[in-house]
Amino acid sequence: MKNNKKLVPCIYLQEGVAVTGFGDLGQEGDGDAVSLAKYYSDAGADELIVFDFSDSDETHEKAIGVLREITRVVEIPVIAGGNVKRVEDIKKLLYAGASKAMLNYAKQGNIDLTEEVSKRFGKEKIAVSIDNISSIADNKSLIETYAEEIVFVKVEEESVIKEAASETIVPVLPVWSSNKEADLNSILSLENVSGICADQLNGFDVDFMQIKQECKENGISVYIFESAFQWSDFKLNSDGMVPVIVQDYLTDEVLMLAYMNEEAFETTITTGKMTYYSRSRNELWVKGLTSGHFQYVKSLTMDCDMDTILAKVSQVGAACHTGNRTCFFNNLVEKEGTSMNPLKVFEEVYNVIADRKENPKEGSYTNYLFDKGIDKILKKVGEEATEIVIAAKNPDPEEIKYEVSDFLYHIMVLMVERGVTWSDITKELANR
C-alpha cells in the first residue's frame, strides 16, 4: 500500500477563512474551511494541505484555531504550513493536529530551522515547501536528512515535476498552479511522486472516487475500496438482497436498516457512498442524493452467517426521513441503568461540564471552579494528582478508584476551560 498515489486537495486560509489559491488571495473562496475539509475527508481525498497566508501573529493564531477544528473533523492526514518564524510555530501546527508541519524554503529562516525541528519532533513530522528545482539541489543533503516529503508549489509544467522528482530520494508532492488542468494520470505515473494537489481536486463538487477509478483503470495504484468477498459469497434473502445495519462510525449509534442488491453493493464499493435498493420504489437509491444527507463509507463488515452487512458511516445530517438523526427513536421497553461504555461516560460528563460553563447553575461546584479561573482549576488538578499518589501507597485499591475519579473530573474541567475534547485526546493517543 506504500506505493499508492495520493489525491490531495488544498485549503488556503486568509484571516482564518478559506480563500482561492495562490494567485487570488483576498477573493472569497469556499469560506467555511472546516466544512470543506470534512467533505474532502469523507469524499475520498487521501490527505489535505492547509496553507496559512496570515501576515501577523494575531491572524496566525486564528488560522491555528481553524486548523485545530479541521483536524478534529477529518480522518485523513493534514500537512500544514505558513507564517512559520520559530520552532514554536512548528510545535503549534503539530499540536493543532497536523500530521506534518511544513517549512517554507523560500525563506532562509525556515531552512535554518530544518535540523532543529526535525530532531525535536521527528523527521516524519516535517515537510518542506519549495517553488523551484534549484532550491532542491542547493539543500539536497539537508532535505534528505531531515524531511519526509517535498511539497513542490506553483508548478506549471509536468516536465518540471519530473526533473524535481529525479533530483532527490525524498517523495515529491506537486501543487499544480497552472491555469490549465493537470493531467493527473500522467503526473501520478511519475516515479518518486507521492501524489498530486491540483485545482481540479479543490471544491465541494469533486468526485474523488470517480477520479480514483479512472486512475486504477490506467494502471495507477490508488487508495480505493476493494471488498474481500464477492457478492456470490453472500447468503441472500428471498428477494435476492442483503439487509444492511448502519451505524455512526464515531459513536456506534444505530442509524437505520436498509437493503442492498448486487448493483447497490458494487455501487457502494465504487463510489464510497452508501447505496441501497428501495423495495417500495423498485429502484437503486443513493442515500442523500436528494436530501444531501449522504452516508460516506468507513467500513463494511459481514456477519458470521454471511447474510447481513454492518456498515459504519460518516453521516451527513439526519439518517431518518423524519428528520431525526436515527430511525430508531420510538422507545418500546427500557430498563434503567448506568452506561458502562467508558468513552460514552467520559463524553457525557464532559458535556455536563461544558453545559455548566455555557449555562451557569447557582450553587454548582463546577461553576465555582470556572468563576475562580484557570489558576484555581490547575491547583485542584495538582491536588487531586497528589491524592492519587498517596492513595496508591495504601493497601486498599478502592481508594485509588475514588481519587482517580476526582482527578478525571477536574481534568475535564480543565479540558473544557481550554477547549480540548475527548476526541482530541483519543486521536492523539491513537496517533502515538
> How do beta strands 126-130 and 100-104 pair?
parallel
Its domain, for residue 149, covers 6-217
**What letter would DSSP give residue 273?**
B
Residue 214 near residue 220 (C-beta atoms within 8 A)? no
Residue 111 near residue 84 (C-beta atoms within 8 A)? no
> How do beta strands 10-14 and 149-155 pair?
unpaired
My answer on whether 20 and 95 are in the same domain is: yes
What is the structure's pLDDT at 264?
Answer: 98
My answer on whether 250 and 192 are in the same domain is: no
Query: Does residue 110 sit within a domain?
Result: yes
Q: Which of 217, 243, 273 is the last residue of a domain?
A: 217
User: Residues in the chain with pLDDT < 70?
Assistant: 1-2, 20-31, 337-340
Q: How many CB atoms lie within 10 A of CB 185?
A: 16
My answer on whether 203 and 247 are in the same domain is: no
* Helices 208-217 and 33-43: angle between axes, nearest 10 degrees: 40
Is the CA virtual torsion 119, 124, 130, 133 positive or negative? positive
Spell out the alpha helix ranges (H) of 122-183: 133-138, 140-146, 158-167
41: its cell numbers: 475527508
| 171 contacts: CB under 8 Å, gap ≥ 6 | 148, 149, 150, 192, 193, 194
User: What CATH number corresponds to the domain at position 419?
Assistant: 1.10.287.1080
My answer on whether 124 and 267 are in the same domain is: no
Residue 16 near residue 63 (C-beta atoms within 8 A)? yes
User: What CATH number corresponds to the domain at position 74?
Assistant: 3.20.20.70
What is the structure's pLDDT at 26?
Answer: 39
> What's the structural domain count of the chain?
3
My answer on whether 293 and 346 are in the same domain is: no
Query: Does residue 68 sit within a domain?
Result: yes
My answer on whether 308 and 350 are in the same domain is: no
What is the structure's pLDDT at 21?
Answer: 54
Spell out the alpha helix ranges (H) of 253-341: 262-271
293: its cell numbers: 444527507
Query: Does residue 225 sit within a domain?
Result: no
> Which tens digits make up the pLDDT trace of 275-290?
999 999 999 999 999 9
My answer on whether 162 and 25 are in the same domain is: yes
My answer on whether 264 and 306 are in the same domain is: yes
> Which tens digits make up the pLDDT trace of 352-365?
999 999 999 999 99
> Which tens digits make up the pLDDT trace of 198-249?
989 999 999 999 999 999 999 999 999 999 999 999 999 999 999 999 999 9
Query: Does residue 336 sit within a domain?
Result: no
What is the structure's pLDDT at 318?
Answer: 94
